[in-house]
Amino acid sequence: MMKGKAYPVDSARIPVQNPFILVGHHTDTYPSGDGNMAPSEYPTDWIKGNDFSKTRGWKMYHGRHVPGFPAHPHRGFETITYARKGVIDHFDSFGNSGRYADGDVQWMVAGKGIQHAEMFPLIETEQPNPFEIVQIWLNMPKRLKMGEPAYQMHWRETIPVVPLAETNPAKNYLKVLVGRYDDAVSGSAPASSYGFEANHHINVWDGQIEAGNHFVIPAYPTDVKVQLYVMSGSLTHKDSVIPAKTLLVYTDDEPTTFEATADTTFMVFIGQTIDEPVFAYGPFVMTTRAEVEQAYADFEVTQFGGWPWDSHDPKIAADQPRFSSADQLKS
């Protein structure tokens, strides 16, 4: 039997629950680039280095020239970053770099500590640079928090796509970004990840379905939460309506069927809950305040491997195709 609750989503932050810390869904209608991957013109209301405008339609975030997030540290959790649209350039304190875009997924384990930069280069100079990103912060149990940092790519060409209807599969599908759906299995998690063990049931799916069709989410153990985010459109389950901009969090030990009452886009986040305290502050997610204070102290001393790049917001050449310099970090 389903047991759950629906939550409105009224900002870029989706109110996910354990084992996830947060999910950010950002959409930016970036203008054309200036040839150096920066905007062709900067906004007049821009606060340099801290731009999260809710009215302009696009944001520089912490970037000063190229939009994005210059070098910053993490410890104690994982990020799963889905480039739904646009380009993301990655740099880290272990000397790795990469570019991914338009449907690719990066899975990074911060573990005992890593610095990375996430920049959003505006490569197109003759047309706008639309951008959409979903970033998931996945918690780790204490036994894994001080493990080895790691990252790997799930390139869009390798991501399984499951048809949700016999007709028009281009508009009725489910992408298995992480985990599995029936017989469709994504690339594996990094070995130091909470998601590496199959019984933790870490899944991330991206779906689209037309009105009148339905899909089924499989049964999971009762300590596994299914979190269904309706981005647009509307779904129903029995007599309950799940409208756009709603997160449904539930458990069910039986398969659950959802009907589309409108053309709908959605994402699903699934995982076994972690029955431990959570203390999250800034870029660190630990179990106590003392552990977070220690993370700050350690970063002051070690810089989590240092920063080998010539700036905190490095660049990759605009004409460089997608790549990853390493699937696994070396500490």
Predicted confidence (pLDDT) per residue in 85-134, tens digit: 999 999 999 999 999 999 999 999 999 999 999 999 999 999 999 999 99
Residue 225 lies in a domain: yes
Q: Long-range contact list for 209-212, CB < 8 A, 24+ apart?
A: 209/164, 209/165, 209/171, 209/172, 209/233, 209/260, 209/263, 209/264, 209/266, 210/165, 210/168, 210/171, 210/172, 210/260, 210/263, 210/264, 211/260, 211/261, 211/262, 211/263, 211/264, 212/259, 212/260
Rounded CA gap, 94 and 196, in Å? Answer: 22
Rounded CA gap, 255 and 163, in Å? Answer: 18
- What's the pTM value of the predicted model, to 2 decimals? 0.96
Mark whether 196 and 288 lie in a shared domain: no
Predicted confidence (pLDDT) per residue in 73-89, tens digit: 999 999 999 999 999 99
Mark whether 86 and 200 lie in a shared domain: no
Mark whether 169 and 238 lie in a shared domain: yes
Mark whether 72 and 211 lie in a shared domain: no
Residue 104 lies in a domain: yes
Residue 50 lies in a domain: yes
Domain extent at residue 211: 1-11+159-276
Containing 296, the helix (H) or strand (E) segment is: helix 289-302
Domain CATH number, residue 209 = 2.60.120.10
Per-residue pLDDT of the chain in tens (331 residues, 90 and over written 9):
899 999 999 999 999 999 999 999 999 999 999 999 999 998 888 888 899 988 889 999 999 999 999 999 999 999 999 999 999 999 999 999 999 999 999 999 999 999 999 999 999 999 999 999 999 999 999 999 999 999 999 999 999 999 999 999 999 999 999 999 999 999 999 999 999 999 999 999 999 999 999 999 999 999 999 999 999 999 999 999 999 999 999 999 999 999 999 999 999 999 999 999 999 999 999 999 999 999 999 999 999 999 999 999 999 999 999 999 975 444 3
Mark whether 152 and 164 lie in a shared domain: no
CB 58 within 8 A of CB 33: no
Mark whether 152 and 170 lie in a shared domain: no
Q: How many domains does the chain contain in total?
A: 2
Residue 214 lies in a domain: yes
Residue 137 lies in a domain: yes
Mark whether 138 and 65 lie in a shared domain: yes
Residue 52 lies in a domain: yes
Mark whether 192 and 298 lie in a shared domain: no
Residue with tokens 């599995």: 180
